[in-house]
Each structure stands twice: as C-alpha cells, then as structure tokens.
C-alpha cells in the first residue's frame, strides 16, 4: 500500500461482523446476539443521538463557544456497542473521545463540554456513573483500569473494567505495561482499542506492523478484531469479553476496526495528510446507515420512527447548546479549590493575597 492509498477500506480478514455495511445480518461462529426489536431500535436511537450531540459540539466550537472538540464521528457504533455491553457495576476508563460511552453511562452531555469549553478539567463524579474522567495524556488510563480491575478482583465483586484507547496509544509504554499487569494478575479488564486508522496525522503503520489485536497473544491473552462500525458485533464481542473477565478468565484485547471520519480535533486539518477518497470509501460503511438499512429491510421500523428519532435528536442538540451557553464561567476563587483534600496554608495565603489584589481593581 502506498502511503496515499485509502486506508483500511477493504474489510480486513478475521473481522467479527454481524451486520454488513449493506445492512444484512450475518452469522459468526463464535459470536452471536439475540436482540428484541425494541433493543435494536434503541441502539439506533443512541447512535443518532450521540452523532447529533457531537455535531452540535463541533458547531459550538466553530462559533467560539468551545475551545476545542474531539469528534467521535464514525465511531458511534464502537462506542455505543461497547458501552451498552457494560453493566452498572462495570467501570469504564475513557480517552477524550468517548462521548458515546459517556451517553451509555448516563453522563449528561453538557457535563462533557466543561473540559472543552474551559470551565473545568472534568466535571462529573466518576463513581456516580462508573465512568472515569476523560484522560488526555495518551494511554495513562489503561493502567488505572487494570488497577481498578485488581481491586474488583480483591473484592470478589461481579464486575469488570473497560479501558478505551486509540491505535496510536498502543505505542505508549503505559499501554504495554497495562497489558503485562492485566495478564500477570489475570485482571478482569477489557482493553477496547478503537483503531480509527489515524493518530492525528500518523497512519496505523507508523505504530504497528501487525494487526493490533494480534499484539494480545504476545502478552498472553486473547485478542479479537471486530467491525467497529457494526453496533451488533461491538456489543456481542464486548459482552463476551466482559463476561469472561467477570468469570475470572482474565483480559481480552478488542480492536474495533473503524474510521475517524472527522478531523482529529477541531484544531486539526486532515487535508494536509490524507486523501479525500478514503473518507468517501468509509462513508459507505457508515455505522448508522447500515443499521437504518437493517431496520427498514426487516420492517422493524417505519418512517415515522426515523422521523421521531431525528426530531428527538434536534431537540437534544438544541438543549445541549442552550445549556452549554448557560455554563457559568468559574470565579477566580475556583483556581484554589480542590487542589488538596484539606485546607492548605500556602494556597490559603495565595488566594487571600490574590483576591485582595483583584478587589483593588473594583475600587
């Protein structure tokens, strides 16, 4: 493959797929899934709603209301499929792009915007949702997920953790160390790698000469590659991996083969490093379109249903926008809060001096 050829477009072999890009249901020997019609419709709804939240956030950034945004466009199925596989007791450790997983964990989308708007560094209580804070320093969270899993193990609890990370992240020492820990301690963790083909401008071959899921075997646990644009397959594969973990069978690496359809973040300009054809080819594998085709073909939903979901998405978009604009700017005192668990003499001194200084301007 020359470096300018569209990347990852031909479906690679060994890909677990339950729903083709055309919306045909297919069988897989190791993975299957039984879903009620209602469940299928609700998966569709989730995909559409998180895409809408994402689009709204991109628009908010363009209008100067967010400093930056990392779009999940194209990765909805990977996130909703894996996110819906989690039980309440499971714990998720996201990167900065897991807005779809956050949705599945009942984190109010506006809570996600605080970090990107610059009003806080996180903004939700991880324990309330079993959804950890976003992690920007690539790969760090994978070790946290393993440590948390070791805690679950020691508690004898019926739960697992899931660590999200990207293709680029697989090069980090922390990620490789997390694989070693998970393996040696047989920790109940699922490593969920969204291979969206790019780490900013660097294509996958700058990180790996072998398919990422194959890395797992060298560490001593199973790896599986799933069609990341197929919400059924992502749900089935993640469910099974989580169940194995909960039952004491140790970690699994899931490589969700997908595509970053947008820029890396709103600050990025992908025309500098990738060809437009690539995006066009991946649009044919769109995760939402294929589920829509499936629903239509099998008469599981009618136009009225789709219209209703679209209307709901628009209302959600508007609501997110309104509440984003209402997010209050933090007061200067906030600089000094939550740095330590208890009062801290140096911070008290600095705060008092600074507030006195600021008050001088008001006189």
Partner 1 sequence: MTTLTLAKALNEGLRRSMEDDSKVLVMGEDVGKLGGVFRVTDGLQKDFGEDRVIDTPLAESGIIGTAIGLALRGYRPVCEIQFDGFVFPAVNQIITQLAKMPLRSLGALKLPVVVRIPCGGGIGAVEHHSESPEAYFTHTAGLRVVACSNPADGYSMIQEAIRADDPIIFFEPKRRYWDKSEVDLTATGLPLDQARVARPGADITLLAYGPMVKTCLEAAAAAAEDGRDIEVIDLRSLNPLDMGMVAESVKRTGRCVVVHEAPVFTGYGAELAARITEQCFYHLESPVLRVGGFSTPYPPSRLEEYYLPDLDRVLDTVDRAFAY
Ligand X SMILES: Cc1ncc(C[n+]2csc(CCOP(=O)(O)OP(=O)(O)O)c2C)c(N)n1
Interface ranges with ligand X (CB under 6 A): 97, 136-138, 166-169, 196, 198-200, 260, 264
Based on CB atoms, which residue is closest to ligand X, 33 or 204?
A: 204
Based on CB atoms, which residue is closest to Mg ion, 90 or 268?
A: 268
Which of the following is catalytic: 41, 264, 290, 321? 264
- Residue listed under structure tokens 């700017």: 329
Q: Binding to Mg ion by residue 166, rule CB under 5 A?
A: yes
Based on CB atoms, which residue is closest to ligand X, 68 or 293?
A: 68
294 catalytic per annotation: no
Which of 276-281's residues contact partners 24+ apart within 8 Å by CB, and which partners? 277/6, 278/6, 278/7, 278/9, 281/6, 281/9
Based on CB atoms, which residue is closest to Mg ion, 168 or 317?
A: 168
Output the smallest distance, CB 303 to partner 1, in A: 41
Interface residues with partner 1 (CB under 8 A) are 67-68, 96, 114-121, 136-138, 168-169, 171-174, 199-202, 206-207, 267-268, 272-273, 329-330, 332, 334-336, 339, 346-347, 350, 354, 357-358, 361
Q: Is the distance from CB of 124 to CB of 131 less than 8 angstroms?
A: yes
> How far apart, in whole angstroms, are the C-alpha atoms of residue 107 and residue 231?
20
What, of partner 1, Mg ion, ligand X, none, does residue 97 touch, CB below 5 to 8 Å by kind? Answer: ligand X
Dump the DSSP string for 333-347.
GGGGSSSSSS--HHH
What, of partner 1, ligand X, Mg ion, none, does residue 119 touch, CB below 5 to 8 Å by kind? Answer: partner 1
Output the smallest distance, CB 296 to ligand X, in A: 31
Based on CB atoms, which residue is closest to ligand X, 41 or 97?
A: 97
> How far apart, in whole angstroms, are the C-alpha atoms of residue 302 and residue 160?
37
Nearest Cα to Cα of residue 11 among 281, 201, 294, 232: 281
Dump the DSSP string for 304-329.
HHHHHHHHHHHHHHHHHHHHHHTPPP
- By three-state DSSP, how is residue 130 classified? coil
Which of the following is catalytic: 84, 246, 260, 290? 260
273 catalytic per annotation: yes
Q: Binding to Mg ion by residue 178, rule CB under 5 A?
A: no
260 catalytic per annotation: yes
Q: Within 10 A of 137 (CB to CB), how many other CB atoms are there?
A: 10
Residues carrying an active site annotation:
260, 264, 273
């Amino acid at each position: 493959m020359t470096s300018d050829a569209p990347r990852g477009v031909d479906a690679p072999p060994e890909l677990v797929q339950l729903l083709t890009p055309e919306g045909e249901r297919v069988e897989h020997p190791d993975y299957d899934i039984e879903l009620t019609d209602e469940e299928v419709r609700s998966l569709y709804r989730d995909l559409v709603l998180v895409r809408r939240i994402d689009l709204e956030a991109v628009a908010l950034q363009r209008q100067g209301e967010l400093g930056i945004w990392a779009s999940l466009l194209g990765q909805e199925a990977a996130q909703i499929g894996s996110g819906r596989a989690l039980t309440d007791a499971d714990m998720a450790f996201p990167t900065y792009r897991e807005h779809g997983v956050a949705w599945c964990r009942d984190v109010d989308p506006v809570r996600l915007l605080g970090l990107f708007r610059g009003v806080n560094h996180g903004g939700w209580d991880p324990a309330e949702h079993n959804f950890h804070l976003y992690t920007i320093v690539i790969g760090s969270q994978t070790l946290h997920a393993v440590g948390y899993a070791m805690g679950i193990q020691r508690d004898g609890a019926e739960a697992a953790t899931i660590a999200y990370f990207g293709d680029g992240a697989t090069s980090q020492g922390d990620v490789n160390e997390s694989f070693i820990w998970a393996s040696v301690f047989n920790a109940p963790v699922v490593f969920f790698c969204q291979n969206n083909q790019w780490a900013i401008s660097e294509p996958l071959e700058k990180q790996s000469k072998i398919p990422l899921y194959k890395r797992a075997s060298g560490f001593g646990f199973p790896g599986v590659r799933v069609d990341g644009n197929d919400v059924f397959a992502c749900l089935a594969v993640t469910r099974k991996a989580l169940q194995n973990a909960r039952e004491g069978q140790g970690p699994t690496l899931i490589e969700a083969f997908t595509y970053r359809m947008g820029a890396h973040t709103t600050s990025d300009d992908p025309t500098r490093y990738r060809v437009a054809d690539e995006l066009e080819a991946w649009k044919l594998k769109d995760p939402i379109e294929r589920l829509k085709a499936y629903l239509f073909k099998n008469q599981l939903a009618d136009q009225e249903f789709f219209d209703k979901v679209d209307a709901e998405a628009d209302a959600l978009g508007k609501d997110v926008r309104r509440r984003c604009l209402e997010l209050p700017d933090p007061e200067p005192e906030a600089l000094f809060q939550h740095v330590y668990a208890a009062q801290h003499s140096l911070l008290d001194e600095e705060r008092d001096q600074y507030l006195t200084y600021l008050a001088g301007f008001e006189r």
